[in-house]
Each structure stands twice: as structure tokens, then as C-alpha cells.
Structure 1
Amino acid sequence: MKRLVILGGGESGVGTAILGKQKGYKIFVSDKGSVSKKYKEVLLNNEIDFEENQHTESKILNADVVMKSPGIPDKVELVKKLREKGIPVISEIEFAAQFTDAKIIGITGSNGKTTTTLLVHHILKKAGLNVGVAGNIGDSFAQQVAENQYKNYVLELSSFQLDGIENFNSHIAILTNITPDHLDRYEYDFNKYIASKFRITKNQTTSDYLIYDADDEAINNWLKVNKTRAKLVPFSLEKQLEYGAYIKDNNIIINITKDIIHMPISALSIKGKHNTKNAMAATMAAQLLKVRKQTIMESLEDFEGAEHRLENVAKIRDVEYINDSKATNVNATFYALECMDKPTVWIVGGVDKGNDYNDLLALVREKVKAIVCLGLDNDKIKNTFGNVVDIIVETAGAEEAVKVSHKLAERGDVVLLSPACASFDLFDNYEDRGRQFKEAVRNL
């Protein structure tokens, strides 16, 4: 009986434990922190051996295979010891993929992956396909492989999940964009992060597809130097393409099958240039899976978007409140500010992952009337924008940030939470930050 050790008792860890047990592995789950009540109940109900608040090396270093949760960096001593012993350390998606024959649509990128994942899933579901959605969102991929026999999966894949793959493959891979993010995990080397994202295509064959942003410099540079066996399917807002998706006269044109799609950008339910790109990528994935043009176009018109991503919360005294808590890097916040067409009170800050705020200067100068800081260390924000914005206020929580913004905003303004940072200094995660923001707005 093979011994599967799982590091991390969260969503991916517990899902892997359920699948591993079903497939006859001897399981041990180890979490350095505490395991939440919800997951503890699942482990106890399934009679799975686990420990919390420690890693007992003697119970870990005897594994045949180790599944490491994406939040644990490779440079941790325990992971190094496992690798020195030649024990494979893989991610949940690598472990689960070997137990399903489903078609996989894998989606990665620095920004836009959640929206694109939800949009592809929405279109395929509307088309009547038997489809699950997993990866970075929803129930873990492993648990779904154990409990449902979906014929297709749409997976949102982070670079950390891709770092732990060996044989995993997506029939259709989507690469939305690559901008500097998580550089703290890649020795502050952008090229290492780019290589990590491109692992999504490493096992693709000539019958697979790689859908990518042809306007993205990092992607184009990688493709010039490296080879993939997959068929390349580009999309662009800047140039007309003979094959792929592009814009002409404010229409999206998609030219990858005999059935050419023409759709006005104005018909899309999600707004902004970045969402036009997300819609192009999702549409091409659906077309490659033979979904009818009519179904695709209807889906693009009635899709509701992701929670915490440019989500309209409320309008109070003619001031709009928008929750973009999912913007955990500068590029995501760039998109958000680009979409603002009213004077903006911008709530920003949190744990900085090596951010360069200079890219935002022009947009902030043009659109932002006041900055409300929401983090423990705001020096970089104050230094970058101090000469551009007259009002910069520091706050210590969502409620205070919303009250201050409410005082600063006048009729016709917008209050935008788009932090450009991780949330771990004051919140559990970006969802917690977004929910606290929404609650504070509703309590005004």
C-alpha cells in the first residue's frame, strides 16, 4: 500500500486525502497551523490520519509521494529534505489528473483567470456539457474527481499549482497574461515566474491548443525562444489576426472555425478592455469544444462575473461603492482604475509582494481624488503618490476605510476598493477583505 503524505489541511489537502483514500493509498495529512473545523470534520468522518500545529518528520519522510498545498514555498526545509530523498513532491492537480479521463481546460495568468474560468464554465454549462469547475476556486479538483464523474473540467491554475506538475495536461490551455506577481516566491526573478506559467503547455501535444494574449510582451518573448507542440490560438486588441480573435469597428471577430463570430463589444455583460480579452479567450475555448455560436453569444450577454472583481456593492447618496478586493497585484488595479469614469476615492494597500506602483501614476493623476490606505505598512504608497494626490489617509481596517471614504466622497464620485496587494496583514484572504468591505458599506 503506497503512503501518500499531504502537507496542508485546507481545500486541496483534504480533497486529495479523500481521493487518495478512495484509490487505496495510506494517507497522512500534516498541517503546520491549525486545521479549520470544517476540514477537521471531513478528515474525522473519513477516518483519515492527520496532525495539526506541527510537522512530524518521521511520519513524513517515509512517504512514497507527497502532495504539497500551493501555499507552501519550495524553499521550506521539509520540502528540501523530501526532494533530497528523491520523494516526488507534487500538486493536487497532478495527483488528481491521473484518475480522470475528462477533457481539461486549464487557465492561468497573472490576472483574469478567475473571470475567464467562470466564463468558460458558464458557456459550457449553458451548452449542456457535463462540466465541473475547480482549481483555485470552488471545491477541490481532487474531491470532484473522487465524487463526480464529470466529462470536462475547467481549472483555474496558479503558478504554484503548475510548479508541482509532472504529467498533468490541459487539452485546451489559456494563458491570459503575464505581469510581475508573486516575485517573492521566485527569488524576485521575473523569468522564473514566466517559466512557471508556461508549464501549462509542457505536456501538450499536437492535438492540444494554447490560447494566449498576443499583445503580451512576456508571452511573445517566451514563444520566440521556446517551442510548444500545441496549436497556437492568439487573441489581440491591437492587431488583426488571420487566425484567432481580434477587434474591428468595436466588434469582436473570432476566426478559428468556418463559423466566424462577430459580436459587438457593447453586448458583453462584463466591461473593460481586460474583460474583452477574457471573453475572447473563453469564446475560443468554447468554439474548440464545438459549442454553437448562438449559445456562446447568449452566455457572454448574461454572465454575471466573479465576486470581489469590480463588483458593484451599492449606491449611497449618489456615490458608487465598488469591491475589487481580488486585485492583489498592480496590474489588476491598473485594469480597475482604467474602468473608472468618475472621480475616484481609491482604497489601496496590504501586504506588498514587491510592487512597483509607478505604472499607476498616470491613471491615478487622471482619476483619483483621494487615497485611503488599508494596510500596516503604507510608506511605499505614500512615497509614490504623495505628489500626485492631495489627500492620503491611513486606516486600520475595512470599517474605518469605508467610513473615511464616505466622508471624502461627494455626489457623483466612486469609492473603489482595489488594494493591489495581498490581504494577510489584516484579513484571512481577499474574500474576507471583500466581504468586510461590503458589510461596512451596507452599514453606512
Structure 2
Amino acid sequence: MKNKRLVILGAGESGVGTAILGKQKGYEVFVSDFGKIKEAYKEVLRDNGLDWEEGGHTETKILDADVVMKSPGIPDTAAIVDQLRAKGVQVISEIEFASKYTNATIVGITGSNGKTTTASLTYALLKDGLNVGLGGNIGKSFAELVSEGNYKNYVLELSSFQLDGIETFAPHIAVLTNLSPDHLDRYEYDYKKYIASKFRITMNQTEDDYFIYDGDDPDIKNWLDSHEIKAKKLPFSLQREVQEGACIKDNNILLTIDNTQHTMPIAQLGLQGQHNTKNAMAATTVATLLKIRKATIRECLESFQGVEHRLEKVLKINNVMYINDSKATNVNATFYALDSMETPTVWIVGGVDKGNDYTQLLPLVNEKVKAIICLGVDNEKIKQSFGNIVDLMVETAGMEEAVKVAYKIAERNDTVLLSPACASFDLFENYEDRGRQFKNAIRNL
């Protein structure tokens, strides 16, 4: 009997990880990337003796697939995906493919913002007591981790694109950090479709599973009011007391699960700010469900310093603090960043607009921002939204120029904040590249 044919579209982290796992599981594997494949990934493909192509798709080699793994960056509307679906070929995400080959306990974390911080913090809370791997949309792909076969537990950061391609995937614990409009260019500019995509994380859960979510988020509440889910619901809230889940009482995080209460003082959290309190509540709920010792949770929450490119303090020069928030790829993330500024701010913003609505930022910009530096190929919308609010707005063509302009504008006790509210693909490879270029430019001042 001939081996099943696995075709992989896209040779990034998820594609190459799936190729390794597919070969290990006896599939005949073919990898096809419409663009250029990075040299590091080519090496992995060669070392594993895998068949691949770049710079276009050879239809005959793709359409005879038994199953296709589509990388999250490729939209469902791509011509080759339409052709596969018309032929009745199963098209899934790497998360779906890899989940078939592990019996581990899976914690899946999604949301418009905070998912990387929450996933990193959850992993930090679990790793002393459990055998656990961290992956998905952060670090290594889930498929590669599964191929290594070392873990009994996984913490996975999951994007809506990864969830779009699942059919049976069911995390034992699902976390939805929050909802705000993002990636609407991939959802026909329909926010409801994006919300439905995020809630796919719970669609295959059973009564024995848990769904942890922001109980203050109106979009989450509305969806739960009109849809049934089977998993046990555990909200976290800063605004009200909850019977089950996490809330704030007397400056403590109060967590109630199965009538047992646990407390943790907020003042001792390593990460400050309301959104980080929520991230801590979500992560603590997961750790408690997985029986991590209270003392371990407390120590870890106190020492955790956050993730790179998320409100990361870079340097202080002439009493001006430079902060890298390159991970803010949507308006809501930038809202948190501006909200946490305590000194006059020079704000570097811009990139690929995904259908952004900047109105929610207007009061914060009015209150905190003294100058705006546009960093993007097309800055029209930013100029229209904030032109009347700030006295100074400068357009720049790249990161080095943006940082030099910020250096000239900023005065003692100001903050220079890179928080783009946009995707990075016009001038940079990704948000990490953007953040690193920002840090390098500051060090070269």
C-alpha cells in the first residue's frame, strides 16, 4: 500500500515542522512555497531528505495530495486552496495535523492581545512542576515539538489563522484573553467572522475541559450569551466578583475553583498594569488546574519580566526612556501601551493597516502624546486621525530615521514609544525584525 501523500503549503516554522513530523509518521511529503524559502529552513528540509519547491506551486504535485497542511499566512481565498477544496482534498492547519500524534495535555491560548505574554507566563508557571513544551505561534511549531516526543504537556499560543484550520483539535484548557478587531483584512472586514474564528478554540471541548476567558470583555460575553459551549467556564474579572474563576478582592487575586479559594497579592506581580493583572489571572488559573504548588506560582509571578517586543524598556538616554512595543500590531495593543505611559510621549506608529479604527486612541493621544512619528509606506489614515490633535507629526522612511527624529524631539523625562498598531510587512520581515531594528538604532545613537 502506498504511503499517504502530505502536501505542505508554505515553508515557514509551521510548514517545516509539519514536514518533519509527516515524514516521521510515514507520509510521502512534498513542501511547496509560493515565495522564497529562508536558508535556515532549506537546510532543515535538505537534512531531512524532503522534497520541496519555492517560487511557485506545481499544481500536478499539489492536487494529488491526500491531505494538505496550509501555513497560517496563506489566506483561505488563495487560488490553490480553492482548487484543493473543489477536489475534496482535506486542508488543515499544522495544529490540527500535529494534535493527532500526541496524547499530551494541551493548554491552548488565543486572543487579540496578551496571548504571547499569557502563554510565556503560563509556561513559566508550569515548567518547574511539569514536563511541558511551549510552542505554536511562539517559538517552535507544535508539529516539531510533537516530533521530538519529549513532552507530556503543551502550552500553545494560537492565532485565529491556526484555529481556522482545525477540525478535531481540542485543548484540555482553552484561554481567550480578549477580543478586539484585528486581521479584518482576512475576514472580509467582518468582525463577527473574526470572533467566530477565535471561539473555534472551544468547539471540540467536552464537559471535562475548561474555558478560561476575560469576563469583562463585552464581545466575549455577547458571544457566550448566544452560543452554548460544553467546557466548564472560568472567567477572570477586574470589575466584579465571580463565583468560579478569578477576581480582585482586597488587592489580591482571588481564584475560586471547585469551591477552593487561592489568593495572590497584586502588588507583588513582576508585570504591572491592568492588562498584565488579567494575563496573570489567566495563567494562574491554568497553573492551579494543573496542580502547580501555590508557592511556585507566587515566586514565578513575582519574578516574571515579560516578553521581548512587548513594552520592553530598551535604554534611557539623556533621561528619555525608549520603549519597544513592536508586538503591538493592532489598535487595542497600542491602547494598553499608551494607557501605561506616565510621561509626555513621542509615539512611533504605522505599518500595514489591517482595517484599523483609531478613534478609541484619540483621548489617550490627546492626553499623553506630544509628537507622532509615522513609520510606514502609507500613513494617510494616521495623518487624518491625529493631525488635528498633536502639534508635531513627522513622516519617516525607515527605523533609523524614525529613531533619530525621536531623539531630536524628545526632551528630559519624555518617553519614546514604538507601538505601531499595524503589521510590519511593508518595511520589515516581521514584528521581531522591527523591534530589533528599533533597539539597534537606539544603541547606535
TM-score interval for Structure 1 and Structure 2 normalised by the shorter chain: over 0.9
Q: Is the CA contact 1:174–1:212 (under 8 Å) kept in the aligned structure 2?
A: yes
Q: Is the CA contact 1:245–1:255 (under 8 Å) kept in the aligned structure 2?
A: yes
1:379-390 matched pairs, under 5 angstroms: 379-390=380-391
* Equivalent residue number for residue 43 of structure 2: 41
1:338-359 CA distances to partner (integer Å, 9 max, x unpaired)? Answer: 1111110000000000000010
Distance 2:418 2:164 in 1: 31
> Aligned to 1:246, what secondary structure does the other structure show?
strand
Q: Is the CA contact 1:312–1:320 (under 8 Å) kept in the aligned structure 2?
A: yes
Q: What is the CA distance between 1:294 and its match in structure 2?
A: 1.1
Distance 2:243 2:206 in 1: 23
Q: Work out which of the residue numbers 101, 104, 113 in structure 2 matches 1:102.
A: 104
* Equivalent residue number for residue 64 of structure 2: 62
1:45-124 matched pairs, under 5 angstroms: 45-124=47-126
Q: What is the CA distance between 1:293 and its match in structure 2?
A: 1.1
Q: Is the CA contact 1:244–1:256 (under 8 Å) kept in the aligned structure 2?
A: yes
Residue type matched to 1:105 in 2? Answer: V
Q: Is the CA contact 1:259–1:293 (under 8 Å) kept in the aligned structure 2?
A: no
1:9-48 matched pairs, under 5 angstroms: 9-48=11-50
Residue type matched to 1:82 in 2? Answer: L
1:87-106 CA distances to partner (integer Å, 9 max, x unpaired)? Answer: 00000010000000100000
Distance 2:209 2:31 in 1: 35
* Equivalent residue number for residue 6 of structure 1: 8
> Aligned to 1:260, what secondary structure does the other structure show?
strand
Whether 1:417 and 2:415 are equivalent positions in the alignment is: no
1:143-174 CA distances to partner (integer Å, 9 max, x unpaired)? Answer: 11111320000000000000000011100000
1:1-60 CA distances to partner (integer Å, 9 max, x unpaired)? Answer: 100000001110010000000000000000001111101011111110000001000000
* Equivalent residue number for residue 346 of structure 2: 345
> Aligned to 1:165, what secondary structure does the other structure show?
coil
Distance 1:259 1:286 in 2: 14
Distance 1:252 1:369 in 2: 36
Distance 1:139 1:416 in 2: 29
Q: What is the CA distance between 1:360 and its match in structure 2?
A: 0.1
Q: What is the CA distance between 1:258 and its match in structure 2?
A: 5.2
Distance 1:428 1:306 in 2: 19
* Equivalent residue number for residue 231 of structure 2: 230
Q: Is the CA contact 1:342–1:414 (under 8 Å) kept in the aligned structure 2?
A: yes
* Equivalent residue number for residue 295 of structure 1: 296
Q: What is the CA distance between 1:257 and its match in structure 2?
A: 4.6
Distance 1:79 1:314 in 2: 46
1:31-430 matched pairs, under 5 angstroms: 31-126=33-128, 128-257=129-258, 259-430=260-431
Residue type matched to 1:270 in 2? Answer: L
Distance 1:363 1:248 in 2: 28
1:178-225 CA distances to partner (integer Å, 9 max, x unpaired)? Answer: 110000000001110000000000100000000000111111111011
Q: Is the CA contact 1:90–1:165 (under 8 Å) kept in the aligned structure 2?
A: yes
Q: What is the CA distance between 1:386 and its match in structure 2?
A: 1.1
Q: Is the CA contact 1:309–1:325 (under 8 Å) kept in the aligned structure 2?
A: yes
Distance 2:296 2:23 in 1: 39
Q: What is the CA distance between 1:261 and its match in structure 2?
A: 2.4
Q: Is the CA contact 1:8–1:69 (under 8 Å) kept in the aligned structure 2?
A: yes
Identity of aligned residues (%): 70
Whether 1:432 and 2:433 are equivalent positions in the alignment is: yes
Residue type matched to 1:76 in 2? Answer: A
The structure-2 alpha-carbon separation of the partners of 1:99 and 1:155, relative to structure 1 and needing over 3 Å to count, comes to same
Q: What is the CA distance between 1:236 and its match in structure 2?
A: 0.5
1:306-365 CA distances to partner (integer Å, 9 max, x unpaired)? Answer: 100000000111000000000000000000001111110000000000000010000011
Distance 2:110 2:15 in 1: 21
1:85-127 CA distances to partner (integer Å, 9 max, x unpaired)? Answer: 110000001000000010000000000000000000000012x
Residue type matched to 1:14 in 2? Answer: V
Residue type matched to 2:256 in 1? Answer: N
1:274-325 CA distances to partner (integer Å, 9 max, x unpaired)? Answer: 1110000000000000111111111101112110000000011100000000
Residue type matched to 1:45 in 2? Answer: D
Residue type matched to 1:276 in 2? Answer: T
* Gaps in structure 1 of 5+ consecutive residues: none
Distance 1:88 1:348 in 2: 40
> Aligned to 1:405, what secondary structure does the other structure show?
helix
> Aligned to 2:155, what secondary structure does the other structure show?
strand
Scaled by the length of structure 1, what TM-score is found? Answer: 0.99
Distance 1:162 1:118 in 2: 19
> Aligned to 2:412, what secondary structure does the other structure show?
coil
Q: What is the CA distance between 1:259 and its match in structure 2?
A: 4.7
Residue type matched to 1:336 in 2? Answer: A
Q: CA RMSD in A?
A: 0.8
Residue type matched to 1:420 in 2? Answer: A
Q: What is the CA distance between 1:139 and its match in structure 2?
A: 1.1
* Gaps in structure 2 of 5+ consecutive residues: none
Number of equivalences: 443
Residue type matched to 2:64 in 1? Answer: N
Scaled by the length of structure 2, what TM-score is found? Answer: 0.99
Q: Is the CA contact 1:3–1:65 (under 8 Å) kept in the aligned structure 2?
A: yes
Residue type matched to 2:38 in 1? Answer: S
Residue type matched to 1:312 in 2? Answer: K
